[in-house]
């Protein structure tokens, strides 16, 4: 590829592209290369390239090495990253400690705030799209796969995209917001809803609408289960701060800026050990729940959260 990259084994594949491990035989650097047929319209790989270039080299944003055409493919070369949280979670017997989940959340809120500040929503926040770095970046989480990311804010005109109904479901049903299922135009609040579902999934090991691999629910069944599951029921057995995350994301209007400082404060109040470290290297680390006196108050927290706390900054977007 590009006269310098030799393709190796497949690292992963999605609905629109295949990702390969590749080596630059000019300098021995190892990279990841995403290939998508030129026949794909619109090109998700080209879209991802443009978004990543705009996002620059932000913390936890994959570095673009090269983009171009190779034979009958769009090709995007990116820095090679480590395993996804999905893979690590499976290897850890589907258990993350509260400490790790809090630090995952803390990092990802920073990533989402950064992505949103450039006028984009990711649209597919899920464990498979969060990767750890390599080398000195093993404690850094990277958000990947911007193939269906979307601009929601036009900086030139300072306008938010209009609210629309009848939109197709984008992203992964298991972690999509109810609004996304219902065909409502996605916004920042929907990224936050997916983010909240994911953290709860890491604490509980599953979600009510996820079943075994042998019995996968349809998209409509997943929606029905989400609608029927109250926040109090979903968050039973986890610290009430996670119910707060869901209530807050649901309370946001379509064009409202999230108060990331408030969300971070919820999680940082739960830190149990040294801030910032992901304890993936401790395979027997148990999931730590809040004391029973805190757990049983989830329903009270849901009620107390409405209306939501006054944000530190008000959105100027309409």
Strands (E), 153-303: 153-154, 159-160
Which residue, chain included where needed, has tokens 């989830």?
298
- Both structure tokens of 238: 């986890």
- Identify the helix (H) or strand (E) that includes residue 143: strand 141-143
Same domain for 280 and 155: yes
55-58 LR contacts (CB < 8 Å, sep 24+): 55/114, 55/115, 55/118, 55/120, 58/111, 58/114
Which residue, chain included where needed, has tokens 């958000």?
143
Same domain for 142 and 225: yes
* Catalytic residue, candidates 124, 190, 191, 257: 124
Q: Other C-beta atoms within 10 Å of 52: how many?
A: 21
Give the C-alpha separation, 229 to 250, whole Å: 14
Same domain for 63 and 117: no
CATH number of 57's domain: 3.30.200.20
Strand partners, 75: 35, 68
The number of domains in the chain is: 2
User: pLDDT 10s digit of each residue in the chain, 318 long?
Assistant: 998 999 999 999 877 899 999 999 999 999 999 999 999 888 999 999 999 999 998 999 999 999 999 999 999 999 999 999 999 999 999 989 999 999 999 999 999 999 999 999 999 999 999 999 999 999 999 999 999 999 999 888 889 999 999 999 989 999 999 999 999 999 999 999 999 999 999 999 999 999 765 567 899 999 999 999 999 999 999 999 999 999 999 999 999 999 999 999 999 888 655 556 677 644 343 333 333 233 333 333 333 333 333 333 333 332
Residues tagged in the binding site annotation for ATP: 34
Which structural domain range is residue 239 located in? 85-304
Residue 124 annotated among the catalytic residues of the structure: yes
Q: Could you say which of 35, 54, 79 is where a domain stops?
A: 79
Give the C-alpha separation, 99 to 267, whole Å: 10
User: Exposed/middle/buried for 23, CB within 10 Å: 0-12, 13-18, 19+?
Assistant: middle
- Both structure tokens of 305: 């959260």
Same domain for 186 and 106: yes
Same domain for 129 and 274: yes
Same domain for 57 and 128: no
């Amino acid at each position: 590829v590009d006269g310098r990259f030799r393709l190796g084994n497949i690292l992963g594949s999605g609905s629109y592209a295949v990702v390969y491990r590749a080596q630059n035989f000019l300098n021995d650097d190892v990279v990841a290369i995403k290939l998508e047929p030129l026949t794909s319209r619109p090109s998700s790989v080209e879209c991802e390239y443009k978004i990543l270039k705009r996002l620059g080299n932000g913390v936890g944003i994959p570095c673009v090495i090269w983009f171009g055409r190779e034979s009958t493919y769009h090709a995007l070369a990116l820095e090679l990253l480590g395993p996804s949280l999905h893979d690590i979670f499976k290897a850890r017997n589907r258990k993350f400690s509260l400490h790790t989940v809090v630090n995952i959340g803390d990092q990802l809120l920073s990533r989402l705030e950064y992505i949103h500040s450039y006028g984009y929503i990711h649209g597919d926040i899920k464990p498979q799209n969060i990767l750890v770095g390599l080398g000195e970046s093993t404690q850094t989480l990277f958000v990947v796969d911007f193939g269906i990311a979307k601009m929601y804010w036009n900086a030139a005109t300072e306008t938010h995209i209009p609210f629309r109904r009848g939109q197709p479901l984008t992203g992964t049903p298991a972690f999509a917001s109810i609004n996304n299922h219902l065909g409502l135009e996605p916004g920042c609040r929907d990224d936050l809803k997916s983010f909240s579902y994911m953290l709860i999934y890491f604490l509980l090991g599953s979600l009510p609408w996820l079943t075994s691999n042998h019995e996968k629910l349809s998209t409509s069944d997943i929606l029905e289960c989400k609608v029927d599951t109250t926040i109090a029921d979903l968050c039973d057995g986890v610290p009430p701060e996670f119910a707060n995350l869901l209530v807050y994301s649901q309370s946001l209007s379509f064009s409202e800026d999230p108060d990331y400082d408030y969300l971070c404060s919820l999680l940082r109040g739960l830190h149990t050990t040294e801030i910032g470290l992901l304890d993936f290297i401790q395979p027997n680390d148990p999931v730590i729940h809040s004391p029973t006196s805190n757990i049983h108050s989830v329903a009270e927290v849901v009620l107390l959260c409405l209306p939501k706390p006054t944000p530190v900054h008000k959105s100027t977007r309409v």
